[in-house]
Amino acid sequence: HPIKKDSKIRYNHRYACMRHSPLLCPNQGLVERLAILRRHRELEGLDMQALSYERAISVIKAFPHHIIADNIHEVSDLPHIGQKIRSKIQEFIQHGDISECKNVLSETRYRSSVDFTAIYGVGPVTARKLYSSGLRTINDLEKHYEVSPQTNDDIANNLSQGYRLVSSTTGLPQLSIKVGLALREELSLQIPRSEVEEIHDVVMNELAHIRSGCVSTITGGYRRGKAESNDIDIVVSHKDLKCGGDQVKGLCAKLVKRLYDQGLVTHVMHMSSFREHDTLRTTHWDSLEKALAVFILPSHGKEQKHVHRRLDLIFAAPEVYWTAVVGWTGSKMFERDLRLWAKQEKGMKFGSSGISRLHDSKLYFPKSEREVFELLDLEWIHPTLRNA
Ligand code: DGT
Ligand code: MG
């Protein structure tokens, strides 16, 4: 994707949504080391420091040259690279590593937190609580929650026995730490593109039984070109632009129930209307719903044995479909800067569930993804270059 002559896209732009960020960059080794430090700050609850690292990492991802002693001055001039991170980069260039990384990786507290947060449903805050109550290893957690280490065959059995905690809001089995633990190994496996596509096809096929005329896009890392994903993100809407969201309303719960009845969805982590989270509350966006679920393709004998996967379903009214697609394509840094750019530079508010003008709350309904970018006065960036 060559950059056009008159383009304002620059690798040293302050906003990630004005930079091209490929999946792999010339400084991948450095990026991976800095990511350890970012993760460490995040797990320690040092959110501002974690964000500083994330911004710096994102800028380095867009830097098109291999960083060496001869061009380090160029790196120092990049936005979001402060004194602290500059010295880490310098150390990496001189010694091929960052000494603090070695220290962090040997910390019990860090290692436990990394293991704990790998469990679906456990974030940094829960991980810290578990750690301060004396738990250190997955084994400790299994004892604490009375989950026995098990083979894949046991999991299916156990899930239909003691591992089903029914949610009071959805009436479906709720994902708990216990279930997250039991499914830990399966859910940590990466999902190849072919399976993402297969799951998308199955889900949309089931949806067609409930409502015809739905449209969808697989978003997230898959759309950004990742060979393997941690989960499957699907944004769903309806082709009837004039329905005002009526064709979509309530569809999320109906679909999840149907998938559950078919044995395709085994657990629901969270199911909601977007209203709970979104400060932008207008009638248009009431029909935005999402479900974070656990999904499994039917297995056919031993040779085609499938495992549990995380599946996020997002339902958008037709007028905000493309806004939702942009909002759920990511990366997280790209999304963060989209919002910041819209607000600080354009007087607009961007969210997955809508675009509005700040001073009079006028709503915009882009009819394509390109229109979303145009509305925000941004140049189109291909999804595979949004890996900020
Ligand atoms: P991965 O780990 O392979 O699934 O990689 P991603 O980039 O697909 O990460 P994921 O699935 O956590 O999130 C996909 C994108 O969707 C992410 O870049 C930002 C957006 N996103 C995730 N969670 C939320 C949410 O709760 N609300 C909104 N508005 N956007 C979200
Ligand atoms: Mg994803």
> What's the CATH number where 177 sits?
1.10.150.20
Catalytic site includes residue 8: no
Return d(Cα 333, Cα 319) in angstroms, integer. Answer: 25
Other beta carbons within 10 angstroms of residue 103's beta carbon come to: 11
The yes-or-no verdict on residue 60 having pLDDT over 80 is yes
Ligand 2 midpoint to CA 148 (Å) = 29
* Cα-to-centroid distance, 96 and ligand 2 (Å): 31
Q: Are 211 and 238 in contact (CB under 8 A)?
A: yes
Q: Is the CB of 170 under 6 A from ligand 1?
A: no
339 and 253 belong to one structural domain = yes
The answer as to whether 9 is a domain residue is no
The C-alpha R_g of the chain, in whole angstroms, comes to 22
By the 8 A CB rule, do 131 and 111 touch?
Answer: no
Q: Do the domain assignments include residue 324?
A: yes
Does the complex come out with an ipTM higher than 0.90? yes
Residue from 23, 332, 384 to probe ligand 1 pocket by mutation (most atoms less than 8 Å from CB)? 332
Closest-lying ligand 1 atom to the alpha carbon of residue 231: 4
CATH assignment at residue 201: 3.30.460.10
pLDDT band per the 50, 70, 90 thresholds, residue 160: very low
DSSP string, 77-133: TSTT--HHHHHHHHHHHHHSS-HHHHHHHH-HHHHHHHHHHTSTT--HHHHHHHHHT
Q: With respect to residue 121, please indicate whether it lies within any of the assigned structural domains.
A: yes
**Ligand 1 probe mutation, 224, 234, 271, 328, most atoms within 8 A of CB:** 328
Same domain, 350 and 232: yes
Name every residue whose Cβ is closer than 8 Å to that of residue 25 and which is 6 or more positions away in sequence: 31, 60, 61, 62, 63
**Ligand 1 atom nearest to 226, measured from its CA:** 3
Helices (H), the chain: 28-43, 47-62, 72-76, 83-95, 99-106, 108-117, 124-132, 138-144, 152-159, 177-182, 184-187, 193-210, 220-223, 251-261, 321-329, 332-346, 369-375
Structurally, the chain folds into a number of domains equal to 3
- Rounded to the nearest angstrom, the distance between the alpha carbon of 310 and the centre of ligand 2 is 9
Q: What one-letter code names the amino acid at 63? A: F
Q: Is 221 in the pocket of ligand 1 (CB under 6 A)?
A: yes
pLDDT of residue 131 exceeding 50: yes
Q: Specify the higher pLDDT residue, 270 or 183.
A: 183
Tell me, yes or no, whether 278 and 380 share the same domain: yes
* Distance from Cα 191 to the centre of ligand 1, integer Å: 15
2 in any annotated domain: no
- pLDDT value for 111: 98
Catalytic residue among 4, 5, 84, 88: 88
Shared domain for 177 and 225, answered yes or no, is no
Q: What does the pLDDT read at residue 163?
A: 45
> Is any atom of ligand 1 closer than 6 Å to the C-beta of 328?
yes
At 121, is the pLDDT very low, low, confident or very high (cuts 50, 70, 90)? confident
Examine the domain organization and report whether 175 and 253 are in the same domain. Answer: no
Average pLDDT, the chain: 90
Q: What sign does the dihedral 318-319-322-324 (CA atoms) show?
A: negative
Residue 227 CA from chain centroid, whole number: 15
The per-residue pLDDT for 165 is 52
Q: Mark which of 81, 106, 131 sits at the end of a domain.
A: 106
169 plus 243 within the same structural domain: no
pLDDT at 55 over 70: yes
Same domain, 333 and 221: yes
Q: How many CB atoms lie within 10 A of CB 118?
A: 15
Residue 376 lies in a domain: yes
Q: What is the pLDDT of residue 170?
A: 63
Which segment of 109-113, 124-128, 161-165, 284-288 scores lowest on mean pLDDT? 161-165
Let me know whether 169 and 197 are in one domain. no
Above 60 in pLDDT, residue 153? Answer: no
Looking at 187, 209, 231, which one is the last position of a domain?
Answer: 187
* Rounded Cα–Cα distance for residues 51 and 253 (Å): 35
- 187-233: per-residue pLDDT in tens? 999 999 999 999 999 999 999 999 999 999 999 999 999 999 999 99
> Look-up: residue for tokens 């994102």?
58
Determine the pLDDT at residue 271.
81
Return the C-alpha torsion angle 90, 94, 96, 98, nearest 10.
-50
What DSSP designation does 368 have? S
Q: Is 220 in the pocket of ligand 1 (CB under 6 A)?
A: yes
377: left (phi over 0), alpha (psi -120 to 50) or beta: left
Q: What is the CATH number of the domain that holds 28?
A: 1.10.150.110
Mean pLDDT of 116-132: 94
Q: What is the mean pLDDT of residues 349-365?
A: 95
Residue 116 sits in the same domain as residue 32 = no
Task: Assess if residue 7 is contained within a domain.
Answer: no
54, 80, 106 - which closes a domain:
106
Is the model's pLDDT at 277 over the cut of 80?
no
For residue 67, the enclosing domain spans 16-106
Minimum mean pLDDT range among 248-257, 258-267, 272-281, 348-357: 272-281
CA-based end-to-end distance of the chain? 16
Ligand 1 atom closest to the Cα of residue 352 is 29
Q: Is the CB of 231 under 6 A from ligand 1?
A: yes
* C-alpha dihedral, 353 to 354 to 359 to 361, nearest 10°: -90
Residues 161 and 307 in one domain: no
**What spacing in Å lies between the alpha carbon of 233 and ligand 2's midpoint?**
5
CB of 337 sitting under 6 A from ligand 1? no
Residues 202 and 58 in one domain: no
In a domain, 203, yes or no: yes
168, 178: one domain: yes
The DSSP H or E segment spanning 265 is: strand 265-273
What average pLDDT does the segment 258-283 reach?
72
Question: What is the model's pLDDT at position 278?
Answer: 46
Residue 236 and residue 309: Cα distance in Å, rounded? Answer: 19
**To the nearest whole percent, how much of the chain has pLDDT over 70?**
89
